[in-house]
Amino acid sequence: MSQYQFKEDFLWGASAAAFQIEGAWDEDGKGESIWDRYCHHPGNVANGDKGDVACDHYHRYREDIALMKELGIQVQRLSISWPRIFPRGVGEINQKGLAFYQNVIDCMLENGIQPFVVLYHWDLPQKLQDTGGWANRETASLFAEYAGRVFEALGNRVRYWATILEPQVIAYNGNWMGNMAPGIRDFSTALQVSHNLLRGHGMAVKRFREMGMTGEIGIINYFPTAYPATEAEEDRRATVRHDGVWTRWFLDPVFKGCYPEDMWQWHKEKGVVLPEICPGDMEVISQKIDFLGINYYYSDFVKAGTDIWPTMASLAKPPVEQFTQMGWPVYPNGFYDALMRVQRDYGIKMIVTENGGAFHDVVNWKGEVDDDARVSYLHDHLIQLHRAIQDGAEVRGYLVWSIMDNFEWAFGYEKRFGIVYIDYLTQKRIVKKSGRWYSEVIRSGGVKEELW
């Protein structure tokens, strides 16, 4: 028995996303996605990297699934590329695209791995962006249509479903800060996008229930726990706003059927154009879900300031010594606080759908990757997860990000999050030390105080 033992039915697994690993960007009838367009535009992604080949998972999925099995992965999260199935976003199914996911899921099941399917992990069909993307209300209806077709085709084999992954990143990074596809920089557009993403989520959940699907469905959110940088009242208020924009704006509608009043007023005063809410929207958004997916990486330390408009906040230097390759502070206590906060404020079952770190990995002369920093990151976060569960957080599973190194969006291939190393020149896979460590965690069902 380990000191930090999890229950026997706790789910252990890993995550990945279509665009980040599949490659085959225009093969077998796949349509262009907004990320294909974004990468192909020079200057958008570090080193000019593209998702065209990525980890070539499209052709190597059998090898990858065999590796997952070897590591003991029980649940593997994958996402479906909407334009691989509907090249134009709507219309006839591209049967070859659908067959790929059928094969992947069958192969996982044959290997004793439960697939966990995310319907939208950022790769919108470009054709739909051309008609306004998520800022267009119609996109939400088309998403529900697409979701229904996927439920019909794969529903008998999949138990865990998520509608939208990190709506805040899609809305804000893609449409406010413009550092992700589709690269728009307008806060009002971002809020309209957020509303339509949540509508799309609710409509898909409604469809799931109407179709009598037997699995479980939820949404996945990003949780940068926000702390005031000092005890000053203005920093505390800025923190409430920061949290309001990044977290409450996306959770209150789903769980309480309304946007947070303080943020609505704040944005109004700042002259932001607020989302158009039509009769019935909030009822659709607040469909009952079965679990909330938690993605936790780091925490934010916030002070009043002018760096972030319209929140009127700035990020302070975090009081930590260690940072990941992304420059994110390593703060495992924030993970505990995020889980306890969700339990307290929203009272929903959770699955940790992402947690992990990018570190500068090197293949040594023995051909191995000794990623001790990642082992230590995972170890410390799992201990906080264990503490949260002991203190009453209902968390049913933990999926590490990521099963393998992959295309880290605007950062390209330089940032490595995997527990399996990818040599992008040869496509060779090397299980890192963290992969072997995590495999032992799964086998024993717990974590020891000492690292090894």
Nearer to ligand IFM (CB atom), residue 122 or residue 161: 122
Q: Which of 22, 216, 354, 408 is catalytic?
A: 354
**Catalytic site residue from 22, 32, 166, 216:** 166
Active site includes 32? Answer: no
Q: How many CB atoms lie within 10 A of CB 336?
A: 22
Interface positions, 59-118, toward ligand IFM (CB under 6 A): none
Residue whose C-alpha is closest to residue 200's, from 254, 157, 255, 247: 254
Closest to ligand IFM by CB, 167 or 446: 167
Residue 295: DSSP 8-state: E
Query: Distance (Å, rounded) from C-alpha 228 to C-alpha 321?
Result: 18
Q: Which is nearer to ligand IFM, 216 or 354 (CB)?
A: 354
Closest approach of Cβ 80 to ligand IFM, in Å? 14
CA angle 168, 171, 175 (to 5 degrees): 145
Nearer to ligand IFM, 191 or 403 (CB): 403
CA–centroid distance for 49 within its chain:
21
Q: How far is CA 278 from the centre of its chain?
A: 28
Phi-psi region for residue 312, left (φ > 0), alpha (ψ -120 to 50) or beta? left
Per-residue binder mask for ligand IFM (CB under 6 A), 162-201, x = binder: ----x-----------------------------------
How many Å apart are CA 238 and CA 246, to the nearest integer?
12
CB 298 within 8 A of CB 334: yes
**Nearest alpha-carbon partner for 84 in 26, 44, 152:** 26
Q: Are strands 350-355 and 313-315 parallel, antiparallel or unpaired?
A: unpaired
* In the complex, minimum distance from the CB of residue 356 to ligand IFM, in angstroms, rounded to a whole number: 8
Tell me the closest approach of the beta carbon of residue 418 to ligand IFM, in angstroms: 10
**Two tokens at 342?**
């969700």
Number of residues counted as binding ligand IFM (CB under 6 A): 8
Annotation says 368 is catalytic:
no
Q: How far is the CB of 201 from ligand IFM (least distance, A)?
A: 16
**Of 337 and 408, CB closest to ligand IFM:** 408
- Window 18-57: contact mask with ligand IFM (x via CB under 6 A): --x-------------------------------------
Q: How far is the CB of 443 from ligand IFM (least distance, A)?
A: 26
What torsion, rounded to 10 degrees, do the Cα atoms 25, 44, 323, 437 define?
10
Shortest CB 354 distance to ligand IFM, Å: 5
| Contact code string over 372-401 relative to ligand IFM, x by CB under 6 A | -----------------------------x
Q: Kindly state whether residue 295 participates in binding ligand IFM, applying the rule CB under 6 A.
A: yes
According to the binding rule CB under 6 A, does residue 123 interact with ligand IFM?
no
Q: Which is nearer to ligand IFM, 101 or 401 (CB)?
A: 401
Nearer to ligand IFM by C-beta: 160 or 401? 401
Q: What is the rounded CA–CA span in Å between residue 429 and residue 55? A: 9
- Exposure pattern of 433-447 as b/e (b: 16+ CB <10 Å)? bbbebbbbbbeebbb
C-alpha–C-alpha distance, residues 111 and 88, integer Å: 33
CB of 397 to ligand IFM, least distance (A): 17
Is residue 408 within the footprint of ligand IFM (CB under 6 A)? yes
Residues that are catalytic: 166, 354
Q: Could you list the residues that contact ligand IFM (CB under 6 A)? A: 17, 20, 166, 295, 354, 401, 408, 417
